[in-house]
C-alpha cells in the first residue's frame, strides 16, 4: 500500500517547519525540537483526575504522572514509558497519548519520567522503569489501582523499555504483569532488516537517527546485545505476559517488531500483532491528524479493555460490548471531538496468535 496521504502531508509539514533532523543537533537542542514538534495538543482530552508525584527509585526520586478515569475502581493500571530514543521525550511530550489511553481504555495510566541518556545510559532508564512498576505493584490501592491487573506499555524506545521491564520482572520474579502493549518498539540494534532498507531514509524516523540514539543509550558495544537493551536477543521468551504489538508499514522498526511477536508466539505467549498500512513511526500519538491513528487508538483500547476485563469487573456488566461495538463507540467520540469521520474499515494486517 502507498504512504497514506495524511501521513505524507504530515511529513511535508515537518519538512516545511525547518526543524533539522534530531540526530544533527546537540542533545539539548534535539530535546527542544521534539517539544516544538510534538508538544501538547491545543485541545487536550479532558481528564477526571491528574496528579504528579515523585516516587522512590534506586538512585533518587522518579517523577510520574497519574491519570485516573471516572468511576469507583479499583482500575487496572497501565504503566507507560514514553518514546524518544531514550534521549528525548518526557511525560509532557507524551501527555496527549496518555490522556487518550486513560479515556479510551478506562484504566489508570502511570506515565514515568525516567532518566535519559546520554547523561544516564543503559541500564539506568530501564532500572527507573522497573522501579516504577514495582512501586505501582506495592502501592496500587493508593492510586485506586488493581495490583492483579498491571500492564506495561510504551512507544518506540518506550516500547523497548516496556518489553525489557517484562523480561526483568519475569527473571526477578516480581512483579506479576497481566499484559504488555508494545507500540512500534525498538527490539534490536542490527539495522539490517528489510524495513530498514526500505524505510530508513525518508519517513521521519531514519537509520541515522536510530544509530544516534543507540550511541547515546548504550556506551559499551557489547551491552547492545544484552536482552535488556535489545529484547529480541533474549535467550527465551517463555513466561512473558500476553501482548499487543503494533507496527507501521513505513517504519524502519517494523520487521524487528514483527520478529518479536513471532518469538513470543513460538514460546506460547498469547500475542496479537497489527501492522498499520500506509503509516509512519509515531503515528498513534497523532489521532487529531491521522484518521488511521484514531482508528488504531480505538482498536488498541478495545483490545486492552477486553484483555484487562475492565467492563466485566469494574462496571459489573455481564453482557459486555463486543470489541467491534467498543471500536464503533470510540470512533463516534473521536469524530465528535476532532470533526473528522473515522472509517469503519481501514487497511491493516492483523495476526491473532494463540499459544501453541
What digits encode the pLDDT tens for the residues 111-162? Answer: 999 999 999 999 999 999 999 999 999 999 999 999 999 999 999 999 999 9
Cell of 220: 559499551
Amino acid 329: pLDDT:
54
Query: How many Cβ atoms are within 10 Å of 87's Cβ, its own excluded?
Result: 24
Mean pLDDT of the chain: 89
281 counts as catalytic: yes
- From the list 251, 255, 288, 348, the catalytic residue is 251
Amino acid 37: pLDDT:
82
226 counts as catalytic: no
Q: Which of 207-211, 310-314, 319-323 has the highest mean pLDDT?
A: 207-211
Closest C-alpha to 3, from 287, 196, 292, 272: 292
11-15, 205-209, 257-261, 328-332: least confident range: 328-332
Query: How many Cβ atoms are within 10 Å of 326's Cβ, its own excluded?
Result: 22
- From the list 95, 113, 281, 348, the catalytic residue is 281
Mind giving me the DSSP string for 178-244? Answer: -EEEEES----S---SHHHHHHTTTSSS-HHHHHHHHHHH-SSGGGGGSTTTSGGG-S--TTPPPEE
- Measured CA to CA in angstroms, residue 180 lies from 23, 161, 163, 217, 245 at distances of 29, 11, 7, 22, 8
Amino acid 331: pLDDT:
47
Whether the per-residue pLDDT at 173 is higher than 90: the answer is yes
Amino acid 345: pLDDT:
39
Cα 210 from Cα 187, distance rounded (Å): 12
Placement of cell 463507540 in the chain: 329
- From the list 111, 156, 288, 348, the catalytic residue is 156
pLDDT bin (cut points 50, 70, 90) of residue 340 is: very low
pLDDT bin (cut points 50, 70, 90) of residue 321 is: very low
**Cβ pair 136, 77 in contact under 8 A:** yes
156 counts as catalytic: yes
Amino acid at each position: 500500500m502507498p504512504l497514506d496521504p495524511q501521513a505524507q502531508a504530515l511529513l511535508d509539514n515537518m519538512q516545511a517547519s525547518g526543524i533539522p533532523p534530531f540526530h544533527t543537533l546537540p542533545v539539548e537542542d534535539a530535546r527542544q525540537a521534539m517539544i516544538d514538534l510534538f508538544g501538547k495538543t491545543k485541545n487536550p482530552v479532558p481528564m477526571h483526575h491528574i496528579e504528579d508525584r515523585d516516587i522512590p527509585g534506586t538512585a533518587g526520586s522518579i517523577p510520574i504522572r497519574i491519570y485516573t478515569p471516572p468511576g469507583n475502581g479499583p482500575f487496572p493500571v497501565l504503566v507507560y514509558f514514553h518514546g524518544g530514543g531514550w534521549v528525548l521525550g518526557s511525560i509532557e511530550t507524551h501527555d496527549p497519548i496518555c490522556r487518550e489511553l486513560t479515556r479510551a481504555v478506562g484504566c489508570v495510566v502511570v506515565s514515568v519520567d525516567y532518566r535519559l541518556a546520554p547523561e544516564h545510559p543503559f541500564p539506568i532508564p530501564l532500572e527507573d522503569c522497573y522501579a516504577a512498576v514495582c512501586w505501582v505493584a506495592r502501592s496500587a490501592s493508593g492510586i485506586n489501582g488493581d495490583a492483579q491487573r498491571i500492564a506495561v506499555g510504551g512507544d518506540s524506545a518506550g516500547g523497548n523499555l516496556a518489553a525489557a521491564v517484562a523480561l526483568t520482572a519475569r527473571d526477578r520474579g516480581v512483579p506479576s504483569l497481566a499484559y504488555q502493549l508494545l507500540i512500534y518498539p525498538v527490539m534490536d540494534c542490527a539495522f539490517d532488516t528489510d524495513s530498514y532498507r526500505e524505510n530508513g531514509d525518508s519517513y521521519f524516523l531514519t537509520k541515522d537517527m536510530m544509530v544516534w540514539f543507540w550511541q547515546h543509550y548504550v556506551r559499551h558495544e557489547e551491552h547492545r546485545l544484552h536482552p535488556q537493551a535489545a529484547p529480541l536477543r533474549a535467550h527465551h521468551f517463555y513466561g512473558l505476559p500476553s501482548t499487543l504489538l503494533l507496527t507501521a508499514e513505513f517504519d524502519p522498526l517494523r520487521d524487528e517488531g514483527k520478529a518479536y511477536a513471532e518469538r513470543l508466539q513460538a514460546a506460547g505467549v498469547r500475542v496479537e500483532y497489527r501492522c498499520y498500512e500506509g503509516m509512519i513511526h509515531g503515528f498513534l500519538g497523532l489521532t487529531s491528524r491521522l484518521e488511521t491513528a484514531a482508528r488504531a487508538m480505538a482498536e488498541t483500547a478495545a483490545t486492552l479493555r477486553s484483555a484487562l476485563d475492565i467492563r466485566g469487573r469494574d462496571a459489573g456488566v455481564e453482557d459486555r460490548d463486543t470489541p467491534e461495538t467498543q471500536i464503533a463507540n470510540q470512533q463516534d467520540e473521536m469524530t465528535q471531538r476532532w470533526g473528522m469521520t473515522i472509517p469503519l474499515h481501514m487497511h491493516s494486517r492483523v495476526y491473532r496468535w494463540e499459544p501453541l
